Chains A and B, each alone.
Chain A
Amino acid sequence: MAQAHTEATRERIRSAWIFLAPMLIVLALVAAWPLARTLHFSLTNATLVDMNHYSLVGLDNYLALDDGRWYGVLSDPEWLKALGNTLVFAITSVTLETVLGVLIALLLNMSFRGRGLMRAALLVPWAIPTVVSARMWSWMLNDQFGVINDALMKLGLIAAPVAWLAEPHLAMASVVLVDVWKTTPFVALLALAALQMVPRDCYEAARVDGVHPVRVFFQVTLPLIRPALAVAVIFRLLDAMRMFDLVYIMTGATDATLTLSVFARRELVDFQDVGYGSAASTLLFFVIALITALYVTAVRLDLDGKRR
């Protein structure tokens, strides 16, 4: 917009803030206090036993040196283990989900009979409550009476039942598999919406030129859906980094699958240690912020719309 229209621009910005206000007020109302409270308690030694009496302990919950020994979440070997697990989980599951999600979206973007049914089917995994689907999968993955071992054995793919959730190196892979099953639809649906909003002329131009479909995808389609895809990936990353219920229900809290969220929940609820648990939660927040920042830089997410 040209500089001459400063008055119009100012008017526009004013109305932008009016448009933003309801959303910001609602979000602040709901989120400000819980988040501030978590930050506050992370600096205290509060416990659920008596939430009225606690004292400020500074950064001791994060890291403290006492008698030549390190204490605090950052020096907790379990937390570090959980950090590693969480990163492995988030990176593998989100990568798989993105690739699969885009492929599925491309498939569903074609016109063929039964497409509506396919779209409905796509949402089924996402629609089953996680509390249920996690249990359902642990049942199906059971080594002795699970249907997956049974099917694989009948197909001759394995000779003996496999303990999917008990073997440390398979447990993480199983959880990733279930997460991919559950949340690929999320990516696929957003990618499909993005594909639908790509102007048809772009394709038609390419088709007339006789460009190979794979090249069309990489040179025309992908750049056009990239912003939407990047946002889908960000929200997947946030969720994957906070992964809780699948792990908690499917494998308990074994070292092989312990995640940062499970760690935080254990401290906050099971161990009643509000101070330490809040510190773990806050650290998780910072880890996620860092990962998001890295991702946004890596894909050069264009938030300001500078291209325009």
Chain B
Amino acid sequence: MTVVLWLVAIALAAAVAAAVGRVWARLGAGGGPWGTALSRLQRNAGGMVALRFLIFVASVAIFARWLAPFDPNVQLDIIALASRPPSLAHPFGTDIYSRDVLSRLVHGARISLAVALLAVLLSITVGTAYGAIAGYLGGRVDAVMMRVIDAMLSIPRILVLLAIFALWGRVSLGALVLILGLTGWFSTSRLVRAQVLQLKTEEMVVAARALGARHRRILWRHILPGVTSTVVVAATLGIGNVIILEAGLSFLGVGVQAPTASWGNIIADGSSNVAGMWWMSLFPGLAIVLTVMAFNIIGDALRDALDPREIQPA
């Protein structure tokens, strides 16, 4: 029964991927700076493999409910099925509560990806706004705003996070996203500010100002579009980073709380007996590494594709 469902799901995912690919190819053929960048990205073999892999992981996360062979939180048989190594019925083994690790991994993809995506979305938004304002206003305001960023960057992020969790104790998923997002925007704002400082002196901006454009219009129409590529690359690389960070926090027991599965806390569940239950750390860890690697490959590919100076070796 589950096998049939798996096949249906895989076929469905493949169909979606094919449809997306069709649209994607047409987009790449279009002109303009984004079309050019896209067609360059499409010629990056590694980037395309990574992208397909991410589409697969995302579909697994979306269809987790139907793909997972068991309920991720149900203790199947605490006497007979606890701490079982991988077998046909449980390809990734079971944990000490006899829960199916594959099902937890599939559901964990949901949590790990969603937390990372939302947190990065938040930090990118805040970081871009802060950096754009500092860079655009310049002068003393900029100096003060950037000193604050220097100070924030001087505190290792993991220590800030640990401090927050020490003070607030266990937090909900929403709060986790907020905390990860609000501690991750400092370097983005620095990148954006540097870019804005440069763009501000461009002739098009001077011309817009001479024509009497308001600050808001200049920022939205002339400066922010120039920052987009920097931000897109930072966001892609940032997602990988946050996945690792969330896994680490969940591993320490302060991130995603039980019984909700995340890739990090599955590893934590097995960490009391690493040698005896190797499958508990190996498989979720591989899921993290492959997913983060895919985000990093795409981030690098995007950077190359979006950089107008980059000359592609034939």
- Decide if A and B are genuine partners: no
Give A contacts to B, CB under 8 Å: none
